[in-house]
């Protein structure tokens, strides 16, 4: 064999056995298709959904935290998830973001990306952003620097030191500052912001990556009434361009933002519909609202 042919053969073998640049192995067919779609920054939403869970279950020490859960989110939708403590809301987000692996079931991003094949980092890179309950901004840095830092996917010190925003990124940063109502606070140290402003900043950091789907776990907990109203406006302004899944207990907030509400109970969907519909549902009143 010529060295050329040997090299070709070795390359083909590597392509089959090693993760490629996007971290996935190529086995042809559907999977190779996923990689192409993810790289192009496009999620296949031809079937009218950005996220699709079916028959998902996960147990912790024999306890079923998620039990045969099925859920469908449309592109641009703002879905509210409510339910009693321990219903599995956070665990559901852990599954979508790759933090927890289910024991069974399917989880698809668009109609072609099987999320169960990817790790947390890859899932975030594909455009699923997650906001945890507690704000985790860099307190010693300014608002501007926090947003700037959110663009750095390569956390190596050297590349962080020499990182410069290009003009598209500068524009995006300015736009995000306005969206999160912090344009006049850009130079303030994040540690000096109010609790609500820190939450917005963290949402802004997610927005810098222009995620297709945003998962927000109890975003208005601890906010003042005014901050809560502003957050509702913020979320309403984000939908359509982004899809959002919002877990919240604050019913006045849900009322402001909700289109479709899903009630989780014991790891599965108890009811789904408009807020009025689920509020009048006997089962929902019994396990959640009535208490």
Q: Which residues bind Mg ion (CB under 5 A)?
A: 89-90
Residue 82 interaction partner, one of Mg ion, ligand ADP, none, beta carbon < 5-8 Å per kind: none
Query: What's the min distance (Å) between Cβ of 192 and ligand ADP?
Result: 31
Whether the Cβ atoms of residue 235 and residue 244 lie closer than 8 Å to each other: yes
Partner whose binding site includes residue 88, from ligand ADP, Mg ion, none (CB under 5 to 8 Å by kind): ligand ADP
Q: Please state the φ and ψ torsions of residue 239, each to the nearest 5 degrees.
A: -65, 170
Q: Which of the listed partners (ligand ADP, Mg ion, none) does 65 bind, with a CB threshold of 5 to 8 Å by partner kind?
A: ligand ADP
**Alpha carbon distance 55, 61 (integer Å):** 19
Q: How far is the CB of 232 from ligand ADP (least distance, A)?
A: 21
DSSP 180-218: TT-GGGTTSBGGGS-HHHHHHHHHHHHHTT--SEEEEES
Q: Is 97 one of the binding residues for ligand ADP (CB under 6 A)?
A: no
> Nearer to ligand ADP by C-beta: 11 or 101?
101
Residue 83 is classified by DSSP as: -
Shorter beta-carbon distance to ligand ADP: residue 76 or 86: 86
Q: How far is the CB of 287 from Mg ion (least distance, A)?
A: 16
Residue 206 touches which member of ligand ADP, Mg ion, none, C-beta under 5-8 Å by kind: none
Quote the longest CA-to-CA distance of the chain. Answer: 77
Q: How far is the CB of 216 from ligand ADP (least distance, A)?
A: 13
- Count CB-CB contacts under 10 A for residue 284: 21
- 10 Å CB burial of residue 29 (0-12, 13-18, 19+) is exposed
Query: Least CB distance from residue 217 to Mg ion, whole Å?
Result: 6
91 scored as a contact of ligand ADP (CB under 6 A): yes
- Our CB check for ligand ADP shows the closer of 65 and 115 to be 65
Place of tokens 């050297």: 158
Q: Which of residues 69-88 bind ligand ADP (CB under 6 A)?
A: 83, 85-88
**Exposed / middle / buried, residue 184 (Cβ in 10 Å: 0-12, 13-18, 19+):** exposed
Is the CB of residue 44 less than 8 Å from the CB of residue 216?
Answer: no
Check binding of 134 to ligand ADP (CB under 6 A): no
Nearer to ligand ADP, 89 or 242 (CB): 89
Please report whether residue 17 would count as binding ligand ADP according to CB under 6 A.
no
Q: How far apart are CA 122 and CA 36, in angstroms?
A: 14
CA atoms within 13 A on the CB side of 31: 13
Instruction: Compare residues 65 and 71 and give the one whose CB is closer to ligand ADP.
Output: 65
- Which residue's CB is nearer to Mg ion, number 132 or number 144? 132
Query: Which stretches of the chain bind ligand ADP, using CB under 6 A?
Result: 60, 65, 83, 85-91
């Amino acid at each position: 064999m010529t060295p050329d042919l040997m090299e070709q053969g070795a390359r083909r073998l590597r392509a089959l056995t090693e993760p490629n640049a996007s971290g996935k192995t190529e086995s042809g067919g559907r999977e190779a298709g996923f990689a192409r779609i993810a790289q192009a920054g496009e999620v296949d939403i031809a079937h009218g959904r950005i996220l699709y869970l079916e028959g998902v279950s996960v147990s912790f020490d024999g306890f079923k935290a998620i039990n045969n859960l099925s859920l469908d989110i449309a592109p641009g939708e703002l879905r509210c998830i409510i339910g009693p403590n321990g219903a599995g809301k956070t665990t559901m987000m852990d599954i979508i973001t790759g933090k927890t692996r289910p024991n069974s079931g399917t989880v698809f991003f668009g109609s072609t990306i099987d999320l169960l094949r990817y790790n947390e980092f890859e899932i975030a890179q594909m455009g699923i952003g997650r906001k945890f309950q507690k704000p985790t901004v860099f307190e010693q840095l300014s608002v501007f620097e926090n947003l700037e830092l959110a663009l750095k996917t390569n956390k190596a010190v050297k590349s962080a030191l020499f990182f410069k925003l290009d003009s598209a990124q500068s524009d995006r940063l300015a736009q995000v500052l306005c969206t999160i109502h912090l344009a006049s606070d850009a130079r303030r140290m994040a540690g000096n912001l109010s609790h609500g402003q820190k939450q917005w900043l963290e949402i802004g950091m997610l927005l810098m990556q222009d995620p297709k789907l945003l998962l927000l776990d109890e975003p208005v907990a601890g906010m003042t009434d005014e901050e809560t109203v502003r957050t509702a406006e913020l979320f309403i302004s984000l939908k359509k361009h982004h899809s959002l899944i919002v877990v919240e207990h604050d019913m006045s907030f849900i009322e402001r933002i909700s289109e479709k509400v899903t009630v989780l109970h014991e790891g599965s969907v108890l009811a789904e519909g408009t807020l009025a519909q689920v509020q009048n549902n006997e089962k929902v009143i019994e396990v959640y609202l009535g208490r």
